[in-house]
Structure 1
Amino acid sequence: MADRTIKILRITPLRGPNVWTYRPALEALVDIGDLEDAPSNTIPGLYERLSAWLPTLAEHRCSIGEPGGFLRRVREGTWPAHIMEHVTLELQNLIGQRTGFGKARETSTRGVYKVVVRSREEEVTRACLHAARDLLMAAIDDTPFDVAGTVARLHELADARCLGPSTASIVDAAAERGIPALRLNDGNLVQLGHGANQRRVWTAETDRTGAIAEGISRDKDLTKRLLQSCGVPVPEGQVVASPDEAWEAAQDIGLPVVVKPSDGNHGRGVSIELGTEEEVKAAFGVADAEGSAVIVERYVRGDEHRLLVVGGKLVAATRGDSLWIEGDGDSTVRQLIDAQINSDPRRGEAEEFPLEPLVLEREPATRLLLARQGLEGEAIPAAGRRVLIQRNGNMVNDVTDRVHPEVAASVALAARIVGLDIAGIDLVAEDISRPLEAQGGAIVEVNAGPSLLMHLKPVTGQPRPVGQAIVEHLFPEGDAGRIPVIGIAGTRGTTMVARLLGRLIQLSGKTLGMACRDGLYFGQRQVQDGNCSPWKSARRVLLNRSVKVAIFENDGADILAEGLTYDRCQVGVVTHLDRAESLAAFDVREPEQVYNVFRTQVDVVLPGGAAVLNADDPLVARMAGLCDGEVIFYAAREDNPAVAAHLAQGGRAVVLRAGQMALLRGDRTEARISASCGSAAVTIEDMLATVAVAWALDLPDYLVQTGIVTFDADALPANAERTLNVRAG
């Protein structure tokens, strides 16, 4: 019986640079069974169903290199694994996970393919991959498939699992600067940079946001008193404990007044322009339900504004709009809200929407405002009657370019007074282009962790690069948050090079983090025994705030199974390319395949870094042309042809010459280091590679010589010594 079923045999998350791409990806091993004999042009209606269900596939270029290229391949004939790749990519695009990278490649087993797609969030991409398989099978079998429902389900998963838009804007801005980002939890806590040079952000809060400052901002009465004492215009007001006290305070301050919670947010529980005892007392109950205390303060005439201050500078400003509905004589207030307000495509529950739906049950302040107009949710306003639904909280209009310099200075001062490095300043003014004092305007709140979405997606005006402003605040120009990362790869000799180099780094006085086959090390302390080169263990090095230099040993199987732990490195070392037996499980057997695996280490060398390559191995030497940075060869023979050609072009190399390691640049010998080590387990190749890395890192010659001579393999854990001796043999 024919087997026309697509089976996903295995999914491998590649969390770092890998054999396919610099970025995280999912690699699926897919068996298409007897569909290997059924290219797409032999399946009646497949092209029509695919193009009808996913019309945006028309934008895919595929290998043809122009829009429509992929669908042309489907019409002319291609295989299900290739189609599954493109459907997965398109499902990700439809839910906002924009990506265009994918591959489908045959394996040595007939009908089995590796399907690879870029992955921004592992669980979401995995779900898209399975959904793509199901959609494709339905298209092949000519059975119904709920595309809209599937996309909605995947969209919901992405909303739950992916970074929120505010945090994503910061991460994207960091990527543009070449600053690495590591997600630290399932929410929006992200590390930017590595080791000792890292910073952390949590939405719009950073590791510079003080707990005391955040506490002050939550206490709106305390915030107002501090601002007032420094000359910042604020509305007079007081904290009250009961409806009666609220009315007394309102009379003392002078009507109309505002009643609001002392520690609320998003405008919840705020009632504005109250002029009667009944209104003030009713508003007390609304505010009391939203916060721990209630404030009555002077009503300031004008529009509400939100100004974003980052690092003492104004970077964005928005103005709010009031919400109104218009009666038609037939519909209730609730129905009119749904038809005239919630129908706005900019409103939604997910974080990506700049505006939230208005639900009366969740808005006691709106219900109070309706009551003041003699209405409630089921009332039917007369045709043509305009009803005010919400006065504040709808920050939709960008006005950054209109802010008066004195207003900008006032909000920057307010942020400094509270102590916030990032602050959302709420103020009320009739004209933001005039000084506050001249128009009776005032700052009404200072908020920690402000939303950035209103500035990223204003309804009117231009979006503002607020993520970029936060990154520039954390990382001055020229600072990429990186520490020197040394990656060591190859089929043998890598552990000894890592340990010997680790010895030199420790002697230099810099705090070392090292993940290798012998364990995980911070400084001279082993914190985990055994093979710690896999991604999960090695990642701990980059998270450690004390680490100033990192060393990673990379086995070929680790690269194939998980990808590299780091995105880029200062120095990338490749020792040997042989003994591919251990990679057979990944369908890697031939020398050229081994080359493609280990070139990953050279591909990620930074432009200002160096690749240290074994010139005595022809395949390794061939990698020189792949490096974005400098190449330093090492060789046991001074007359190595690759070395000679490299030196003739002014390059650097470390070679063995008369019992010494000579550091050569062009036609000059810059230093000589004795090829004598304190451990017999260390080979001359190990020493040459280590000296070349030390040279790339500008370590002093005397330190390198001392470190090699005094290196003692007996100081390694017992299991490490056995491993090293086996490899030396």
Structure 2
Amino acid sequence: MTKDIRILDVLHLRGPNIWTYRPAIEARVDIGELEECPSNTIPGFYERLSGMLPGLIEHTCSYGERGGFLRRVQEGTWPAHILEHVTLELQTQAGQRTSFGKARSTSQTGVYKVAVRSRHKDVTVACLHAARDLVMAAIEDRPFDVPATVARLHELADSLCLGPSTACIVDAATDNNIPSIRLTDGNLVQLGYGVRQRRVWTAETDRTSAIAESIASDKDLTKSLLVPCGVPVPEGHVVANPEEAWEVAQDIGLPVVVKPSDANHGRGVCLELMTEEEVKAAFPVADAEGSEVIVERYIRGCEHRLLVVGGKLVAAGRGENIVITGDGKASVRELIDSQLNIDPRRGEAEEFPLETIKIDSDRTMQLLLERQGFNADSVPAAGRVVTVQRNGNVSIDCTDEVHPEVAAAAVLAARIVGLDIAGIDLVTEDVSLPLERTGGAIVEVNAGPSLLMHLKPAEGKPRPVGEAIVGHLFPGEDNDGRIPVIGIAGCDDTTRVARQIGWQLHMGGYNAGLACREGLFLDQRAVEKTDCANWAAGQRVLMNRTVDAAVFETPVESILGEGLPYDRCNVGVVTSIRPSADLERFDVRDADQVRNVLRTQVDVVMASGAAVLNADDAQVAGLAELCDGEVIFYALSADVDVVTEHLAAGGRAVYVREGSVVLATGASEQILAARVAHPANALSAELAAVAAAWALGISPDLISSAIESFESSLGR
């Protein structure tokens, strides 16, 4: 035994589990001799911990009030509990705000289970290990570099987690009860399940045409399509060299803009060029950023970005010139750092609304400075205003200012190009007036536009662009992208129940996916013949775009070790509860603990769904009180007290009388045509499947046919 905290092992619970509906990390932690050292017995520990992480003051803990956790530390709590809260705080500091955590003792003295909500496994595990080191440093009164640790964790989170544009869409989907699955390590995400799924990739969707995206990437082609439809655009032409650029500039009339045909974020764009020297100097700058160079008429006014989603304007931002003011002492480079980059809204990560200005790597900026008679090392006179950027700075929300005719022009431009989500760049002196009055024009149509400028504008209020995109993909009320999901858990007969429910769905006309111990089945066809009663196989079913219903067998050990493969279900079946030697490695040793695991299956039943519970098992029947939806009991006989009471209250139950299956609702009974003569265990599984099919609205006649044909279906 030592005074140390050892992380023995870590489980990644990727779906709903015994701790929470959300993905979590469960660590088994040995605190050794620290079991005898609660926090109030360690001199100076409270002061050191609260000084290292001041944000812990926001943790309410069991007191339910600000400062609650630190109060627990003062009064005395154990290192495993402290490790939980420090892990949560480090996740928050890393930009992965979470609030759920639990620490519970096990049957082994000094060994605890610590569970925390996790948005990304690797980030949470890194935070857990960093938390262990921080807590030990506070215990042992050693220095610990919190800022460096947080910076490392933040960088890890930025590299592994969803970008802000995709994340805002996923968060909006979650708020609307739409499930999501991250399909790659990048930003490709599935919203919804099976046939009702949609896919997003940052601000592109599975409705975003590849042809439209190609058109938008070619600025000259885009303009050629917009002009015949009456959309105002600046006159311009593609040029091959600096000499041709100057010729076109003279034809169009000065001033002009020289820009790349397919770059973005304002890279390589030089504005308001007045002389041959300026035009020719701008050509290589634009050429370096795109495949072709365009010279077009300069439009006076401010740069604007209008976000169009599903044929509607949902947000708009305005740009401004970025300037510095000389003091007669500092260079341009120094003034940029002291006057601009010091702004807390600027940074390298995607979460910042404004980018860090880097003059040494920006040839466009250098050319702009040269036109004003400066370079990076020049020292502007006191009071001299120097412009360092003229475009690519859209950061001021102006959604409420947009004139309806301007909005209509933006929507028309997106429709002509064929984009369901588009960022429309236009230049105008006043966006509250029609473009024909201001001489404004649409200069670009962009596919996959960044949403960050609308989520975190430097000025003005954020706009709910994620909600707009989700509403576009899932129009109408109660459109949550879900298919019927049936989960089966328990200690007996779960594979047979799963196969029978799969057959009931097949007979009911569903193209059902089934993941169980006997394999993975698509519409009764075995596509995998290994044990598929696990999270990964379940996810494959939900990702299949042909599946319109899904059935999952989830063993108790799978709930404990990885969580359920779906977030909520329409029907949750629990067959039996009993302890098993196989569960002792999870420190689950008695029937009450098994019950606590299997309640997960009932907890995830939607309010519009049903829990199908075995009334012949008293502990299973007792789970009824935990269900948000309806409860349907099944039993070998109606002569079970819980069934009798349930029917008396108008509930539904399935049981057997004289060899026939009975569907009962209150005092009303319907006897199925099919006769059953199975052994008791097989009959119990049959009843569970019948109850599940009944809960899904499959007709009694089809249920009867399924009962009669199930055994022969197993050879298919």
TM-score, length basis structure 1: 0.97
SS of 1:712's partner is: helix
**Matched ranges for 1:342-491 at <5 A:** 342-476=341-475, 477-491=477-491
Instruction: Write the letter of the residue equivalent to 2:690.
Output: V
Aligned match of 1:674: 674
C-alpha displacement of 1:713: 6.2
Checking the alignment, whether the CA contact within 8 Å between 1:307 and 1:318 is kept in structure 2 is: yes
Higher alpha-carbon deviation: 12-21 or 501-510: 501-510
Checking the alignment, whether the CA contact within 8 Å between 1:234 and 1:442 is kept in structure 2 is: yes
Equivalent-residue separation in structure 2 for 1:649 and 1:591 (angstroms): 29
**Matched ranges for 1:227-376 at <5 A:** 227-376=226-375
**Matched ranges for 1:119-130 at <5 A:** 119-130=118-129
SS of 1:411's partner is: helix
Deviations 1:469-492 (A, max 9, x none): 000000013110000000000000
C-alpha displacement of 1:673: 4.2
2:63 is the alignment partner of 1:91: no
SS of 1:283's partner is: helix
Instruction: Write the letter of the residue equivalent to 2:456.
Output: K
2:631 is the alignment partner of 1:631: yes
Instruction: Write the letter of the residue equivalent to 2:101.
Output: G
Aligned match of 2:56: 57
**Matched ranges for 1:4-83 at <5 A:** 4-83=3-82
Question: CA distance change for structure 1 residues 682 and 616 in 2, over 3 Å: closer, same or farther?
Answer: closer
Equivalent-residue separation in structure 1 for 2:413 and 2:360 (angstroms): 35
Higher alpha-carbon deviation: 681-690 or 293-302: 681-690
C-alpha displacement of 1:675: 3.6
C-alpha displacement of 1:670: 3.4
Aligned match of 1:543: 543
Checking the alignment, whether the CA contact within 8 Å between 2:674 and 2:705 is kept in structure 1 is: no
C-alpha displacement of 1:56: 1.2
**Matched ranges for 1:605-644 at <5 A:** 605-644=605-644
Equivalent-residue separation in structure 2 for 1:715 and 1:445 (angstroms): 60
Equivalent-residue separation in structure 2 for 1:698 and 1:429 (angstroms): 58
Equivalent-residue separation in structure 2 for 1:519 and 1:426 (angstroms): 52
C-alpha displacement of 1:389: 0.6
Instruction: Write the letter of the residue equivalent to 2:278.
Output: E
Aligned match of 1:595: 595
Checking the alignment, whether the CA contact within 8 Å between 1:496 and 1:682 is kept in structure 2 is: no
Instruction: Write the letter of the residue equivalent to 2:479.
Output: D
Equivalent-residue separation in structure 2 for 1:365 and 1:147 (angstroms): 39
SS of 1:683's partner is: helix
C-alpha displacement of 1:45: 1.0
Checking the alignment, whether the CA contact within 8 Å between 1:570 and 1:606 is kept in structure 2 is: yes
Question: CA distance change for structure 1 residues 714 and 166 in 2, over 3 Å: closer, same or farther?
Answer: closer
SS of 2:355's partner is: coil
Checking the alignment, whether the CA contact within 8 Å between 1:681 and 1:713 is kept in structure 2 is: no
Aligned match of 1:200: 199
Equivalent-residue separation in structure 2 for 1:36 and 1:673 (angstroms): 64
2:208 is the alignment partner of 1:209: yes
Aligned match of 1:646: 646
Question: CA distance change for structure 1 residues 599 and 332 in 2, over 3 Å: closer, same or farther?
Answer: same
Equivalent-residue separation in structure 2 for 1:455 and 1:715 (angstroms): 55
Deviations 1:313-351 (A, max 9, x none): 000000001000111111111111111111111111111
Checking the alignment, whether the CA contact within 8 Å between 1:425 and 1:445 is kept in structure 2 is: yes
Question: CA distance change for structure 1 residues 437 and 293 in 2, over 3 Å: closer, same or farther?
Answer: same
Question: CA distance change for structure 1 residues 643 and 464 in 2, over 3 Å: closer, same or farther?
Answer: same
Equivalent-residue separation in structure 2 for 1:166 and 1:714 (angstroms): 47
Equivalent-residue separation in structure 2 for 1:162 and 1:656 (angstroms): 52
Aligned match of 1:663: 663
Checking the alignment, whether the CA contact within 8 Å between 1:675 and 1:687 is kept in structure 2 is: no
C-alpha displacement of 1:716: 4.8
SS of 1:423's partner is: strand
SS of 1:395's partner is: coil
Checking the alignment, whether the CA contact within 8 Å between 1:348 and 1:357 is kept in structure 2 is: yes
Equivalent-residue separation in structure 2 for 1:175 and 1:232 (angstroms): 37
C-alpha displacement of 1:682: 6.9
Equivalent-residue separation in structure 2 for 1:96 and 1:270 (angstroms): 33
Aligned match of 1:568: 568
C-alpha displacement of 1:522: 1.1
SS of 2:207's partner is: coil
SS of 1:623's partner is: helix
C-alpha displacement of 1:150: 0.4
Question: CA distance change for structure 1 residues 246 and 681 in 2, over 3 Å: closer, same or farther?
Answer: farther
C-alpha displacement of 1:672: 2.6
Checking the alignment, whether the CA contact within 8 Å between 1:662 and 1:673 is kept in structure 2 is: no
Instruction: Write the letter of the residue equivalent to 2:554.
Output: N
Equivalent-residue separation in structure 1 for 2:675 and 2:12 (angstroms): 42
Equivalent-residue separation in structure 1 for 2:584 and 2:153 (angstroms): 35
Equivalent-residue separation in structure 2 for 1:367 and 1:567 (angstroms): 52
Equivalent-residue separation in structure 2 for 1:4 and 1:159 (angstroms): 35
Deviations 1:664-721 (A, max 9, x none): 00111134343427x879711011111101100111222111111112268359xxxx
Checking the alignment, whether the CA contact within 8 Å between 1:348 and 1:355 is kept in structure 2 is: yes
SS of 2:354's partner is: coil
Matched-pair identity in %: 65
Equivalent-residue separation in structure 1 for 2:483 and 2:714 (angstroms): 27
Instruction: Write the letter of the residue equivalent to 2:339.
Output: Q
Checking the alignment, whether the CA contact within 8 Å between 1:25 and 1:118 is kept in structure 2 is: yes
Equivalent-residue separation in structure 1 for 2:455 and 2:341 (angstroms): 21
SS of 2:486's partner is: strand
Q: Which runs of 4+ in 1 moved over 4 A?
A: 679-682
Instruction: Write the letter of the residue equivalent to 2:631.
Output: V
SS of 1:341's partner is: helix
Deviations 1:214-235 (A, max 9, x none): 0000000000110001100000
C-alpha displacement of 1:431: 0.4
Equivalent-residue separation in structure 2 for 1:360 and 1:670 (angstroms): 80
Checking the alignment, whether the CA contact within 8 Å between 1:675 and 1:684 is kept in structure 2 is: no
Checking the alignment, whether the CA contact within 8 Å between 2:661 and 2:676 is kept in structure 1 is: no
2:708 is the alignment partner of 1:709: yes
Equivalent-residue separation in structure 2 for 1:669 and 1:701 (angstroms): 12
Equivalent-residue separation in structure 2 for 1:197 and 1:361 (angstroms): 49
RMSD, aligned α-carbons: 1.2
Instruction: Write the letter of the residue equivalent to 1:715.
Output: L
Aligned match of 2:106: 107
Aligned match of 2:498: 498
Deviations 1:561-589 (A, max 9, x none): 00000000010000011242221111101
C-alpha displacement of 1:519: 0.5
C-alpha displacement of 1:86: 0.5
Equivalent-residue separation in structure 2 for 1:714 and 1:643 (angstroms): 31
Checking the alignment, whether the CA contact within 8 Å between 1:302 and 1:429 is kept in structure 2 is: yes
Instruction: Write the letter of the residue equivalent to 1:663.
Output: L
Instruction: Write the letter of the residue equivalent to 2:368.
Output: L
Equivalent-residue separation in structure 2 for 1:594 and 1:702 (angstroms): 36
Higher alpha-carbon deviation: 501-510 or 352-361: 501-510
Equivalent-residue separation in structure 1 for 2:412 and 2:671 (angstroms): 57
Deviations 1:170-226 (A, max 9, x none): 011001100001111111111000011000000000000010000000000000110
SS of 2:346's partner is: coil
Checking the alignment, whether the CA contact within 8 Å between 1:53 and 1:147 is kept in structure 2 is: yes
Deviations 1:648-673 (A, max 9, x none): 11110001112111100011113434
SS of 2:132's partner is: helix
Deviations 1:366-396 (A, max 9, x none): 1110010111111111111100111111111
